[in-house]
Amino acid sequence: MGRKLNFLSKRLLPILLPTLISAPVFAGPAMEWVQKMSDAMRNLNYRGDFVYLHENQLESMRISHYRDVHGEKERLISLNGEAREVIRDNQNLTCIWPSSRKVVIDMSRKNNFSPIFIPEDIVRLEKFYEMKLLGKDRVADMSVMVVHIVPRDKFRYGMKFWINEQNGLMMKSSLINEDNKVVEEVMFTSLKVYEGDEKLVIDTMPPIDDSFTMIRFHSGDSSKSFDADRSWKLEQAPGGFWRDSVFKRQIPGSEQFVQQMVFTDGLASLSVFIERQTLDTKGGSSSMGAVNAYIRILNNHSVTAIGEVPAITVRQLAESVSYQAQ
Amino acid sequence: MTDLDDKLAFPLDDHPAENADENLDEVIGDVNLQYRMRRYQMIGEVMRHELPDAIDTEFHSNVMQRIRAEAESQNTTPSVPDNAQSANSILSWAWLKPFAGLAVAASVAVVTVLLWQPIKQESGLSDDSVVSAEQLKIQQLAGQQIQANAVPVSTKVQPVGMRWKLESETPGLQQKLNSYLVNHTEYSSSMQGLIPQARVAGFDTQQ
Query: What would the pLDDT profile of A187-229 be if each residue is shown by its tens digit?
Result: 999 999 998 777 777 666 666 777 777 776 655 454 456 777 7
Sign of CA dihedral B176, A307, A51, A109: positive
Helices B96-120 and B133-145: crossing angle, nearest 10°?
130
Winning range, highest mean pLDDT, from A244-253, A267-276, B73-82: A267-276
Residue B53 pLDDT more than 60?
A: no
pLDDT band at B17 (very low <50, low <70, confident <90, very high): low
Mean pLDDT over residues B50-77, rounded? 57
Residue B144 pLDDT more than 90?
A: no
**pLDDT: is A118 or B72 the higher one?**
B72
CA distance B203 to chain A (A): 8
Length of chain B measured in residues: 207
Show me where the domains of chain A are located: 25-194, 225-323
Residues 3-32 of B with CB under 8 A from A: none
Cβ contact, residue pair B194, A214, below 8 Å: no
Out of A108-112, A159-163, B176-180, pick the least confident. A108-112
Residue B143 pLDDT more than 70?
A: no
Task: Check residue B173 and give its pLDDT.
Answer: 83
Mean pLDDT over residues A128-144, rounded? 93
Task: Check residue B44 and give its pLDDT.
Answer: 67
Residue A166 pLDDT more than 80?
A: yes
Give tens-digit pLDDT for B157-198. Answer: 344 456 788 877 777 888 888 888 878 877 776 555 456 666
Residue B103 pLDDT more than 60?
A: no
Q: Domain A225-323 adopts which CATH fold?
A: Phosphorylase Kinase; domain 1 (3.30.200)
Phi-psi region of A88 (alpha: psi -120 to 50; beta: other; left: phi over 0): beta
Percentage of residues in chain B having pLDDT higher than 70 = 14
Residue A247 burial by Cβ neighbours in a 10 Å radius (0-12, 13-18, 19+): middle
Domain A25-194 superfamily per CATH: Lipoprotein localisation LolA/LolB/LppX (2.50.20.10)
Cβ contact, residue pair A74, B197, below 8 Å: yes
Question: B119 and chain A: CB distance < 8 Å anywhere?
Answer: yes
Cβ contact, residue pair B130, A215, below 8 Å: yes
Q: Write out B186-205 in H/E/C secondary structure.
A: HHCCCCCCCCCHHHHHCECC
| A:B CB pairs within 8 Å | 220
CA distance A73 to chain B (A): 13
A104 CB neighbours in chain B (<8 A) are: 182
Task: Check residue B82 and give its pLDDT.
Answer: 44
Three-class DSSP category at A191: strand
CA angle centred on B174, ends B173 and B175, rounded to 5° = 90
Show me where the domains of chain B are located: 3-145, 159-207
Residue B77 burial by Cβ neighbours in a 10 Å radius (0-12, 13-18, 19+): exposed
**pLDDT: is B5 or A37 the higher one?**
A37
β-sheet bridge partners, residue A286: A293, B166
Give tens-digit pLDDT for A57-99. Answer: 888 889 988 888 877 788 888 888 778 888 888 777 788 877 7
d(CA A184, CA A173): 8
Task: Check residue B193 and give its pLDDT.
Answer: 47
Task: Check residue B98 and give its pLDDT.
Answer: 41
CA angle centred on B37, ends B36 and B39, rounded to 5° = 65
pLDDT band at A160 (very low <50, low <70, confident <90, very high): very high
DSSP code of B162? B
